[in-house]
Amino acid sequence: MLHLKVEKENAEKIRFKLMENRWLHPDFEIFSDGRYVYFPLKEGYESGENIVDIKGMFRKKKKNPYDKILEILHMDDNLKNKVPHHWEKYGDVVLIQLPEILYSYRKDIGRAFAEVLKAKSVLLYKGVEGEFRKPLVEFIFGNDAVTTHTENGIFYRFDASRIMFSSGNVDERIRMSRIDAVGERVVDMFAGIGYFSIPISKYCFPERVIAIEKNEEAYKYLVENIKLNGVSVDPILSDNRDVNIRDYADRVIMGYIHSEEFIPFAVRMLKQRGIIHYHDTWRKEQVKDRYETINSLFGDFNYSVLRFHIVKNYAPNILHVSIDLLIRKV
């Protein structure tokens, strides 16, 4: 295989030239022996002074998974271009979204994603619905979506076809695992499968974590995940409004984006002085007038804002926000 041998100092300049003239072989890796850099050349490059024929040492470039997926799929290039570059992978389950034009190819696409990403199931994701935030999905490969996803050193076991796991909230989950909650009593009002309560228990040295979840299925995985991670969290299967916790918590987590009506219940759970982590979805105008918006929500209480943060784009013109507030009841 012919390579152009170039002194390391000149490599960047030469690489640029080779790319400009399309002489660089796309399937092989550029490599270096420390002093020289070797550029793999396409066939037809004229032999010359610094051209060396290297046998055995050169390496084939690893194809990225997306290219491999496209390679497997038998469809026109204009359709291939519409195959999404993004997907979510939780343990061994993959979720993808497809434009309608690809629906009739969904099973082939599912098979290709499963093969390349080594997934046991591939789900076509169409959104989430209802108060339990249940995903709307269709199996396009496999039939079992119970999986164990690892994030930030935590194992989350859940059924990805029935319970949502928001990859867009990863920073928020990691942030919550680093809060200073030493010796605190923490109540997670919308615990799900333990998104926040498990990392807090594992990393933040609280006195106690109570995790409330209303959906029986999510609760089942919450209990399983507490065991799986060997943490101390007290799970409660209930609507959080029916749980009799008063003047108890140093910190209440409201990790649910429709939680406005739950604010009085969160405040009731707090000690005389405590922190609320509030999540919501706001229009961009509300974000612009954030202090007015916050006041319309918390104005009945003595509050101060500790932190305001945009978690992610939620929908066109809608943002997922999180706010940390200090509440004083007297």
User: Where on the chain is the footprint of ligand SAM (CB under 6 A)?
Assistant: 131-133, 164-166, 169, 173, 190, 192, 195, 212-215, 218, 239-240, 255-256
Question: Does residue 198 contact residue 226 with C-beta atoms inside 8 Å?
Answer: yes
DSSP-assigned states of every residue in 141-201: E-S--EEEEEETTEEEEEETTTS---GGGHHHHHHHTTS--TT-EEEETT-TTTTTHHHHH
- Cβ proximity to ligand SAM, 38 vs 221, nearer residue: 221
DSSP state of 258: B
CB of 148 to ligand SAM, least distance (A): 16
CB of 301 to ligand SAM, least distance (A): 20
Query: d(Cα 29, Cα 46) in Å, to the nearest integer?
Result: 20
Q: Which two tokens stand for residue 101?
A: 């034009």
- Cβ proximity to ligand SAM, 174 vs 326, nearer residue: 174
Number of residue whose CB is nearest ligand SAM: 190
CB of 170 to ligand SAM, least distance (A): 8
CB of 161 to ligand SAM, least distance (A): 14
From the list 263, 97, 70, 260, the residue with the least C-alpha distance to 167 is 97
- Cβ proximity to ligand SAM, 41 vs 209, nearer residue: 209
> What SS3 state is found at 316?
coil
- Cβ proximity to ligand SAM, 116 vs 179, nearer residue: 179
- Cβ proximity to ligand SAM, 69 vs 253, nearer residue: 253
CB of 219 to ligand SAM, least distance (A): 8
Give the contacts of 143 (CB within 8 A, at least 6 positions apart): 121
CB of 128 to ligand SAM, least distance (A): 8
Query: d(Cα 323, Cα 175) in Å, to the nearest integer?
Result: 13
CB of 291 to ligand SAM, least distance (A): 24
Alpha helices in the chain (DSSP H): 11-20, 65-72, 77-80, 106-117, 170-176, 197-203, 216-229, 263-269, 284-288, 290-298
How many Cα neighbours within 13 Å face the side chain of 329? 17
Rounded to the nearest 5 degrees, what angle is found at the Cα of 168, between the Cα atoms of 193 and 202? 45
- Cβ proximity to ligand SAM, 166 vs 177, nearer residue: 166
From the list 159, 125, 156, 119, the residue with the least C-alpha distance to 141 is 119
From the list 66, 166, 162, the residue with the least C-alpha distance to 113 is 66
- Cβ proximity to ligand SAM, 131 vs 144, nearer residue: 131
- Cβ proximity to ligand SAM, 202 vs 214, nearer residue: 214
Question: Does residue 261 contact residue 284 with C-beta atoms inside 8 Å?
Answer: no
CB of 181 to ligand SAM, least distance (A): 17
CB of 133 to ligand SAM, least distance (A): 4
- Cβ proximity to ligand SAM, 108 vs 217, nearer residue: 217
